[in-house]
């Protein structure tokens, strides 16, 4: 039914109990005359986005990724990489083809002398963007589908050895730093997860914590007796009223951020002469130690909060001694 007639009928229905038949006929006549020159449309409660420019589509893509819980570190790569491509090609997105993207990547490498790893990160960004455009029906086909992953030399990221972990603990000059590094190892948390934790989140009796991970997903992590002891000692000597689990050592004792935690570990590395001391290496160390001691990789995946088990496999360091032991045990 035409929207104007729907409106008229709804008004008449609402007035039926109040007006006589002749009055209803008159009301209908007046409404028909008065509404003749108006366009009537039902109000839409949907958010309408009409910016179909390349920049507008990029903004919509980033908003979608943020809504899906994509890490901010990843989102920060999207805009400069994709915007650079859009401006360099200077054509509508639906006209971009596979050759355009290959040409842009080749030219980018030649002009900027970047490593293949950077190019692969760019390719992933483009693939995610054009894949989204295709799924949304904004372009006909994904031009990145035919572009294969760009190979690059992968460096082996080693975990801390037991001796290195001991040296780092001995280098701590205060209870906070000792509790911090023991917590990082025992929990396997991302530094962003540690930053958000409050004292009230710690369940000392059961030695576990519920953390908010990537994509807003909660997971339960566990603590060793040693980590719990150092954490309790640290909290017992605090005199501030901050709810944060880890705070700065100087007034006003604000919540430690990512940069603050990384700075503490960097100084410990400089003091001990151990290279590449950072929070993520403790996470890698826990994953490797758990698997080395017989933990199923599926359990390690849950502890680390990985959606894909292949990500967990990347974290693991294949100890040559373990490989030799397995060979000699199973080859005989």
- Indicate if 66 belongs to the active site: no
d(CA 12, CA 27): 8
- Indicate if 266 belongs to the active site: no
- Indicate if 253 belongs to the active site: no
DSSP symbol at 88: H
Backbone CA torsion sign across 11, 13, 15, 20 = positive
- R_g of the chain computed on alpha carbons: 30
Nearest to 300 by CA among 313, 317, 287: 287
Q: Which residues pair with 53 in a beta bridge?
A: none
d(CA 27, CA 279): 75
d(CA 332, CA 330): 6
Choice among 60, 278, 280, 317 that is catalytic: 280
- Indicate if 230 belongs to the active site: no
Choice among 65, 123, 281, 283 that is catalytic: 283
DSSP symbol at 17: T
d(CA 99, CA 168): 51
d(CA 271, CA 131): 47
Q: Within 10 A of 147 (CB to CB), how many other CB atoms are there?
A: 16
- Indicate if 324 belongs to the active site: no
Choice among 102, 117, 214, 253 that is catalytic: 214
- Indicate if 310 belongs to the active site: no
Q: Which residues, other chains included, contact 303 with Cβ-Cβ below 8 Å and sequence gap of 6+?
A: 188, 221, 222, 286, 287, 290
Choice among 165, 190, 230, 284 that is catalytic: 190
d(CA 21, CA 281): 82
Residue 113 burial (C-beta neighbours within 10 Å; 0-12, 13-18, 19+): exposed
Active site residues: 190, 214, 280, 283, 306, 315
């Amino acid at each position: 039914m035409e929207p104007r007639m729907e409106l008229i009928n709804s008004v008449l229905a609402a007035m039926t109990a109040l007006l006589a038949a002749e009055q209803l006929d008159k009301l209908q006549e007046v409404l028909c005359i008065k509404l003749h020159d108006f366009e009537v449309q039902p109000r839409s409660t949907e958010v309408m986005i009409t910016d179909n420019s390349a920049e507008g589509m990029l903004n919509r893509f980033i908003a979608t990724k943020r809504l899906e819980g994509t890490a901010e570190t990843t989102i920060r790569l999207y805009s400069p990489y994709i915007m650079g491509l859009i401006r360099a090609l200077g054509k509508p997105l639906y006209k971009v083809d596979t050759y355009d993207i290959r040409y842009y990547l080749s030219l980018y490498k030649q002009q900027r002398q970047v490593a293949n790893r950077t190019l692969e990160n760019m390719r992933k960004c483009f693939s995610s963007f054009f894949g989204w455009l295709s799924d949304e029906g904004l372009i006909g086909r994904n031009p990145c589908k035919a572009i294969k992953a760009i190979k690059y030399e992968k460096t082996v990221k080693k975990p801390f050895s037991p001796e290195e972990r001991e040296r780092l603990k001995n280098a701590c000059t205060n209870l906070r730093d000792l509790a911090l590094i023991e917590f990082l190892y025992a929990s396997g948390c991302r530094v962003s997860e540690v930053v958000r934790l409050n004292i009230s989140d710690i369940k000392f009796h059961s030695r576990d914590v519920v953390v908010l991970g990537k994509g807003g997903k909660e997971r339960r992590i566990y603590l060793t007796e040693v980590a719990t002891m150092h954490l309790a000692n640290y909290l017992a000597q605090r005199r501030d009223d901050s709810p944060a689990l880890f705070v700065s050592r100087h007034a006003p004792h604000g919540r430690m951020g990512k940069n603050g935690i990384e700075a503490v570990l960097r100084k410990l590395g400089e003091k001990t002469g151990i290279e590449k001391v950072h929070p993520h290496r403790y996470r890698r160390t826990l994953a490797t130690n758990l698997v080395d001691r017989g933990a199923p990789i599926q359990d390690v995946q849950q502890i680390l909060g990985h959606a894909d088990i292949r990500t967990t496999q990347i974290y693991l360091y294949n100890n040559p001694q373990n490989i030799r032991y397995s060979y000699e045990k199973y080859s005989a």
